[in-house]
Amino acid sequence: MQRPTFLRHAAACVVAAGAFAPVHAQNDGGSLHGNFSTDAQYYLEDSIIGAVMPPQRFAANAWTNLIYTNKNFEAGIRLESYEPPLAGYPAGQPYKGTGVGYRYIKYTMADLEVTFGNFFDQFGQGMAFRSYEERYLGVDNAMDGFRVRYKPYRGIYLKGLMGQQRFGFDNGFTKGVGIVRGADVEINLAELMDTSWTSAGNLIIGGSFVSKYQADNSSQLVLPENVGTWAARLHYTSPKWDLYTEYAYKINDPNNRNGFIYKPGQAMLVNATYSVKGFGASLGAHSFDNMFYQSDRTSPSAFDLNINFLPPLTKQHTYNLPATLYPYATQPNGEVSGQGELFYKWKKGTKLGGKYGTKLAVNYSVAYALDTTQLGAADDTTRRLGYTSRIFVPSDRMYFSDLNIELRKRVSETWELALTYLNLVYDIDIIQGKPGKAKVYGDMFILEGLHNLTDRTSLRFEVQHLSTKQDQGNWATALAELTFSPHWFLAGMVQYNYVGNEDLEAKGQEPLAYPLGSVGYIRGGNRFQVNYGRQRAGIFCVGGVCRQVPASNGLSLSITSTF
């Protein structure tokens, strides 16, 4: 009974505040803004594709954020609703019910900023600490506690924070058992020396220390209750060059993910880029060793209560087949990976550039397992140290490789074409946790065309093909999208899994088609989209974290609004 009362109350407050906001805005600068979004689906039965069918038949995720700001004061709240959530959502701990998912107050006094309640933050690129949300994946490890940011002198930035992490959602967010504390310092030399920004290079150095506390509740092991991680980073930039490196070290942290071994963890990333107008190149390398860092050592899944973030070093694809069939996910327990990338633009009027210019993008990434030597089982103390390894020394087990080349060219006033080739090696056993499944070797070709029919109307199409002898065999995808700027779009997509391989057919893999139609309407900050048809099981990734989405059939609706 509490819930509806609260909501009526909240709704009344908001409407009242909204009604007065314009008056406020003129008087003292206070304002209220927010957003709303929902993804809802009505599920239909479809046993051929193994579609999910929740007993409620209708499911929806919904969020609304409200932020009130007045001069140096800010307060925000997010309400969330999962009655029930979409099938396969979220990635980790289940969400249910309706309630408050996030709330905070923040105020700034000159160079000091204080936040109370929930907040997101990161130290450097996050290898020691990152709290963030990816709403569409259901990943949210928001801190609940307090944070202080202080700038004692120009170019010097200090941060300190403490709290617990968001875990699941049960008519309101729930928290993990562990406590997380952290401090970070960053020194920006060009700012400190007050040199000119436009010409000279800049050097930024940073360091952080993070610690988690969880009581030792084991009767068999002596567990560390406070587990610290420190990290250091260096960032050099000049107009053409950019060099970034970060290193993190974690003391022994026996946990579910590493089989309760007492080995310390390490992580390092290095990235260098060189770019001038029309040309960009980058080279990067990562290595992770025993670096799962969760605020509950017995966390049920790899998605929940992560304190740090280990970015995967692979390109995040935008086309449907490469993006959702075989995307890579970081292996925090052990990985050595590298990536090289190049962008080039042949300018207008050159031989290869033609009348409109031509763009080339080449990207190669590869990931290997870390080379490890298991320690003997004879002595329990030694065995509990797990294995020996050296950072950046790979084993011969390749987890992933991806070579992709894209050429994009406007061929006439009204036509633009893009051609992509992609070669893929994918260790599905490790990356998707499907033990015993054969490594996937695939080739893809993608052709995309955009034709402007008028100033406001355009037709875009994609034809994608994946050939592989493993997993589900071949896939072909065709997509057509008709857009009427600035309000409407109409799209149709068919994905066809036609196998084309006797071995797989013998195992019962049958050709299957997945048609899907969409209509969308956009007006200002509001967007509405309706889909109808079959959605293939796939992997949905944002920012480097991936969630498995089950196959489904039905009618779905998405609304997003910003006000």
Partner 1 sequence: MKVLTTLLSFALLTSVALAQNPSKLPSATVQTLEGKKVDTRTLSNDGKPMIINFWATWCAPCKKELNAIAEKYAQWQKETGVKLVAVSIDDARSMNRVKPYVNGQDWDYEVYLDPNGDLKRALNVNNVPHTFLVNGKGEIVWQHNNYEPGDENELYRKVLELVGRK
Asked if residue 229 lies in contact with residue 249, where contact means CB atoms within 8 angstroms, the answer is yes
Query: Given candidates 114, 183, 190, 417, which one binds partner 1 under the rule CB under 8 A?
Result: 190
Q: Please name every residue paired with 61 in a beta bridge, in sequence order, or none if there are none.
A: 39, 82
Residue 278 CB, nearest distance to partner 1 (Å)?
5
Structure tokens, 559: 């609304």
Q: How far apart are CA 140 and CA 348, in angstroms?
A: 45
Residue with tokens 């009655």: 83
Q: How far is CA 183 from the centre of its chain?
A: 24
Least Cβ distance, residue 20 to partner 1 (angstroms): 9
**Per rule CB under 8 A, is residue 237 in the interface with partner 1?**
yes
Beta bridge partners of 77: 66, 103
Among 455, 502, 507, 508, binds partner 1 (CB under 8 A): 455
Q: 265: which 2 tokens?
A: 């963890």
Which residues inside 119-138 make contact with partner 1, applying CB under 8 A?
A: 120-122, 125-126, 130, 132-133
Cα–Cα distances (Å) from 141 to 57, 180, 289, 291, 294, in that order, read: 29, 11, 22, 17, 10
By the rule CB under 8 A, 37 interacts with partner 1: yes
Euclidean distance between CA atoms 341 and 445, whole angstroms: 19
Instruction: Give the residue from 396, 237, 391, 422 showing the smallest Cα distance to 314.
Output: 422
Nearer to partner 1, 88 or 544 (CB): 544
Which residue lies nearer to partner 1 by CB, 57 or 390? 57
Instruction: Work out the number of other CB atoms within 10 angstroms of the CB of residue 365.
Output: 20
One-letter identity of residue 262: Y
Q: Is 156 a residue that touches partner 1 (CB under 8 A)?
A: no
Q: Which stretch binds partner 1 (CB under 8 A): 35-43, 176-184, 213-221, 368-376?
A: 35-43
Candidates 55-63, 295-303, 496-504, 506-514 — which segment interacts with partner 1 by CB under 8 A? 55-63
- Strand 139-140, strand 457-468: pairing: unpaired
489, 496, 498, 532: which one binds partner 1 (CB under 8 A): 489
Length of the chain: 563
Q: Which is nearer to partner 1, 130 or 297 (CB)?
A: 130
- 446 belongs to the binding site for partner 1 (CB under 8 A): no
Instruction: Fill in the DSSP letter of residue 86.
Output: P
- The single-letter code of the amino acid at 41 is Q
Q: Are strands 156-170 and 73-82 parallel, antiparallel or unpaired?
A: unpaired
Strand boundaries in 7-135, DSSP class E: 31-43, 58-70, 73-82, 95-109, 112-119, 121-122, 130-131, 133-134
- How near is the Cβ of 72 to partner 1 at its closest, in Å? 8
Window 191-230: residues binding partner 1 (CB under 8 A): 191, 197, 202, 204
Of 409-428, binders to partner 1 (CB under 8 A) are none
Asked if residue 504 binds partner 1 (CB under 8 A), the reply is: no
Binding of partner 1 by 477 (CB under 8 A): no
Distance (Å, rounded) from C-alpha 78 to C-alpha 133?
A: 12
| Residues in a beta bridge with 79 | 64, 100
Question: Which residues, at least 6 apart from 164, have a Cβ–Cβ distance to it below 8 Å?
Answer: 143, 144, 145, 175, 176, 177, 178, 179, 180, 295
> Smallest distance from the beta carbon of 518 to partner 1, in angstroms?
13
Q: C-beta of 54: minimal distance to partner 1 in Å?
A: 15
Segment contacting partner 1 (CB under 8 A): 10-18, 219-227, 424-432, 510-518? 10-18
Both tokens assigned to 189: 């030399």
Stretch that binds partner 1, among 18-26, 84-92, 217-225, 366-374 (CB under 8 A): 18-26
Nearer to partner 1, 342 or 513 (CB): 342
- The smaller minimum CB distance to partner 1, of residues 210 and 361, is found at 361
The residue within the footprint of partner 1, chosen from 226, 298, 412, 485 (CB under 8 A), is 485
Question: Is residue 157 part of the contact set for partner 1 (CB under 8 A)?
Answer: yes
Q: By CB under 8 A, is residue 4 in contact with partner 1?
A: yes
| Residue 253 amino acid letter | D
Write out the binding residues for partner 1, residues 313-372 only, by CB under 8 A: 313, 316-319, 341-345, 347, 359, 361
Which positions from 254 through 273 interact with partner 1, judged by CB under 8 A?
A: 271, 273
Min dist. Cβ of residue 241 to partner 1 (A): 10
CB of 287 to partner 1, least distance (A): 15
Q: Give yes or no for residue 495 binding partner 1 (CB under 8 A).
A: no
d(CA 385, CA 375) in angstroms, rounded, equals 7
Given a contact cutoff of 8 angstroms between Cβ atoms, the answer to whether 376 and 382 are in contact is yes
- The C-alpha atoms of residue 157 and residue 148 are separated, in whole angstroms, by 11
Which residue stretch of 117-125, 158-166, 376-384, 391-399 sits at the interface with partner 1 (rule: CB under 8 A)?
A: 117-125
- The smaller minimum CB distance to partner 1, of residues 293 and 309, is found at 309
**Should residue 85 be labelled a site residue for partner 1 when binding is judged by CB under 8 A?**
no
* C-beta of 18 vs 224, nearer to partner 1: 18
Q: Which stretch binds partner 1 (CB under 8 A): 295-303, 308-316, 420-428, 530-538?
A: 308-316
Q: Is 160 in the site for partner 1 (CB under 8 A)?
A: no
Q: How far is residue 517's CA from residue 543's CA, in Å, rounded to a whole number?
A: 26
140: contact with partner 1 by CB under 8 A: no
Site string for partner 1, 368-407 (x = CB under 8 A): ----------------------------------------
Asked if 535 contacts 495 with a C-beta cutoff of 8 angstroms, the reply is no
Out of 50, 152, 433, 524, name the contact with partner 1 by CB under 8 A: 524
Q: Identity (one letter) of the amino acid at 223?
A: L
69 binds partner 1 (CB under 8 A): yes
Cα separation, 397 vs 515, in Å, equals 37
